[in-house]
Structure 1
């Protein structure tokens, strides 16, 4: 049985290594028939206590999306050594894959 699109998104997200980030679009490209908007939707709908590294997902411009958890996302990324540049972007060398 083929995994649902959400399961595909969560599987890709779980594989993002610590200290690295990926984009909504890159996750979508790794999942069958998924769009970046669907990835964002899946992240918004994560259940409490899920344990997935949602904070390692950024926009195509390598910036944090505008959402209520952005401050926490910035803190978690910094704890993994991912520091945003002066324009608020993740350094390109931190992109995965």
Structure 2
């Protein structure tokens, strides 16, 4: 991945407000050519101790992606006041931007 594209992704990620979520696709659309998969890749490659709110990024269906950190992601989102419906989806009004 091009370093400037990774930088765009991480800059956008840092802007996602507390208690809100965004999708891989929404982040991709705000860049100069990233795809949702590239956004996911950038998040997977974050170094330990980075401090970025990776957990605020969900799928287009407003669910958590199936990955090893999903339980931690849910825990962090709930701690910020983000709730899930009985189908595991986040309310549409929590989407940013």
TM-score (norm 2): 0.96
**Quick one: distance in 2 between partners of 1:88 and 1:78?**
12
1:25 maps to 25
1:1-97 mapped onto 2 (5 Å cutoff): 4-97=4-97
Instruction: Flag structure 1 segments of 5+ consecutive residues without an equivalent.
Output: none
* RMSD, aligned α-carbons: 0.7
Number of positions where the alignment pairs a residue of Structure 1 with one of Structure 2? 95
**Quick one: distance in 2 between partners of 1:70 and 1:95?**
18
The structure 1 segments of at least 4 consecutive aligned residues displaced by more than 2 Å after TM superposition are none
**Quick one: distance in 2 between partners of 1:90 and 1:32?**
27
Aligned to 1:83, the other structure's residue is in SS state coil
**Quick one: distance in 1 between partners of 2:33 and 2:92?**
26
Aligned to 1:4, the other structure's residue is in SS state helix
TM-score (norm 1): 0.96
Instruction: Flag structure 2 segments of 5+ consecutive residues without an equivalent.
Output: none
TM-superposition CA deviations, 1:8-66 (whole Å, max 9, x none)? 00000000000000000000000111100000000000001000000000000000000
